[in-house]
Structure 1
């Protein structure tokens, strides 16, 4: 197993590989025929490159997605001798088994981690990692179907079973109300002695509130403009461009608009954004109003907020502190949906707020019934008289 060398035809750093003509996908058996192609791609690598370009604003996501795309492209062409655009459901059943036990050069510890002869696996993937890898690949295939490049997504037929299905029933990567309140209170204890301290404090408190109140993904928050906040019928909304260029709008509370006003005034801007300004919703670290904070910077700031909050809990609540140390930006999105569900918000509205394609996805944030079942069960057990041993 060797990575194809970068060629003059594939200089793009997003995905700099080239495949032999026989397996490049120009004549793939799953290529869509008779439909209008929405992307300028004639082969599989070009199509995958367009998909990856959608995540250029999110370096962490881009690296993860590129890794899975390269693994699949090379496995299909080198192990099966087929292009990605000819893979069937049966092929993916074989690929699932391969992910659980990659052999030979694919995971050879003697091979380097970088370069054309590098290994692509450190060993068998855990069940969770397998599920994540196949989810990313399914995202790719669905995108190419929507783009008119593929006729269908073989992974759409995949049945979720076992632990993967159980994990989907309830999301666990979120902060309960008490932990979220602690995070907010913790930020208020940050030092504001120097101008730089004060700037970092204002930026951090605005950022976590924006992510929590709107449920934005990292790349969406990083790319947001102040002009994306707008009024309709006296109510504030936030226009969002999400995954795959999908558009949506999120309700914005009066409280969050007050926080936006505070943040803007701190930088000498008018409290309310206008529809024609080019100011970023989250200014760059230098405070330049026309430069957005990068997704990587958003991620690091949120991790710092959680780390500092965890430090403050280390003695009094070690479990809560451990939770905060694991938390990341996406936990704020999960927390937003979970807390909306706890408040009794209609599930259809949460689906629209989170911009989920399926209401089944939104359903994993319903915790209230489990909480009630737990409380009533434990109360009943507590009232029962147990015989002495």
Structure 2
């Protein structure tokens, strides 16, 4: 049986008064409908289905939809499609103080009766939750399911301070330590060799291309294109944004090595459908984004276990790393190497160059060094002037 989009945490047979079939905020009959869903659970499930290829986003969005749906039907006593601005304000207050029954440690983390809160949400988590739900309501309005969104009246809060630079990345030295550690893995058996070659290729591929896990899972031979003697990777990413990622000759040599290990021709076929990251034991079947995420996490855990003996701090940082850390690492290193910011923006397919600027650590490091050096020199001079 196919799992319900909301994963059974919400009753699948709500009574008509709570189902949303006759919600007070439903769009009038003369509005063109873009979806066939006629109740709130089905409509929310369709919105979630838009994110099926991004498992982490899907789970995060599903959690927020479940929370709101359960709160609306069980506490507010009304369907989601009847919520007003007053309800949204009440829901934000609820997120600050969810009842103990919703935070019960004895409840499972998964399944029909899972725990949906570990405690009150911090301000940042509340903003994120309300932002996700605003996106849900906007989608349902555009789909002709709802007449309007109670979130559009939300007061815009001024951002505090400047955007913080991204910190979820591995610095150059630590990245080199990771690669060196992997190269030390045992290769005495065929299984060990498969594990080594896969980890070696996956980390290098994600690092150089700065791909998301879902994009890496979708990449296949025909996406590798040679133009005027240079290799590029064609990507259709988040929001169906297309991009061309430049690939170095060194990465293509690593790709040829990986393919050769599995008995494939070194160069990808122009019209080939073999995935860039092969399935288990080199099968020509694509892995899911979740599987790629798990491969990366398992690799980082293994590396961290090795580093633990010599540097616990390094090991701790590597153990936290994930596929998205590799994307951040790639962007950070490109910035440190002097790659123009608009080129990094194109490589990451950011719509705003302001988003890309969070990876520019070099200028901050230079400012820190010049400031502290000047102060140190002044201090030494004053000490020299003392009798």
Which TM-score band (shorter chain)? Answer: 0.7 to 0.9
Q: How does 1:15-26 map to 2 (within 5 A)?
A: 15=6, 16=8, 17-26=12-21
Distance 1:359 1:38, change over 3 A: farther
- Counterpart in the other structure of 2:63: 67
Distance 1:263 1:169, change over 3 A: same
Q: How many residues are paired up?
A: 377
- Counterpart in the other structure of 1:224: 219
SS at match of 1:238: strand
CA contact (8 A) 1:212 1:336 kept: yes
- Counterpart in the other structure of 1:154: 151
- Counterpart in the other structure of 1:4: none
Q: What is the CA distance between 1:47 and its match in structure 2?
A: 2.5
- Counterpart in the other structure of 2:349: 355
1:384 aligns with 2:375: no
Larger-gyration structure (1/2) = 2
Distance 1:24 1:288, change over 3 A: same
Within 2, Cα distance between the matches of 1:332 and 1:366? 16
- Render the CA deviation track for 1:267-304: whole Å, top value 9, x for unaligned: 11111212322211111112111x11232321222122
- Counterpart in the other structure of 1:294: 288
Gapped regions of structure 2 (runs ≥ 5): none
Distance 1:189 1:237, change over 3 A: same
Could you state the TM-score of these two structures normalised by the residue count of structure 1?
0.83
Within 2, Cα distance between the matches of 1:357 and 1:35? 32
CA contact (8 A) 1:186 1:308 kept: no
Distance 1:367 1:113, change over 3 A: closer
Within 2, Cα distance between the matches of 1:118 and 1:357? 37
- Render the CA deviation track for 1:304-357: whole Å, top value 9, x for unaligned: 222233233324433222111111121111112222222333333323322234
SS at match of 1:281: coil
Q: How does 1:1-389 map to 2 (within 5 A)?
A: 12-15=3-6, 16=8, 17-26=12-21, 37-87=33-83, 91-103=87-99, 105-108=101-104, 119-141=115-137, 143-144=139-140, 147=143, 149=145, 151=148, 154=151, 159=156, 168-289=163-284, 291-385=285-379
- Render the CA deviation track for 1:234-254: whole Å, top value 9, x for unaligned: 432222232344443322222
Q: Is 208-217 or 362-371 further displaced after alignment?
A: 362-371
Cα RMSD after superposing both structures: 3.3
Q: What is the CA distance between 1:11 and its match in structure 2?
A: 6.9
Distance 1:330 1:374, change over 3 A: same
Distance 1:321 1:146, change over 3 A: farther
Q: What is the CA distance between 1:91 and its match in structure 2?
A: 4.0
Within 2, Cα distance between the matches of 1:24 and 1:200? 49
- Render the CA deviation track for 1:83-139: whole Å, top value 9, x for unaligned: 434545554343233212102543355766666565532322244543443444345
Could you state the TM-score of these two structures normalised by the residue count of structure 2?
0.83
CA contact (8 A) 2:25 2:82 kept: yes
SS at match of 2:281: coil
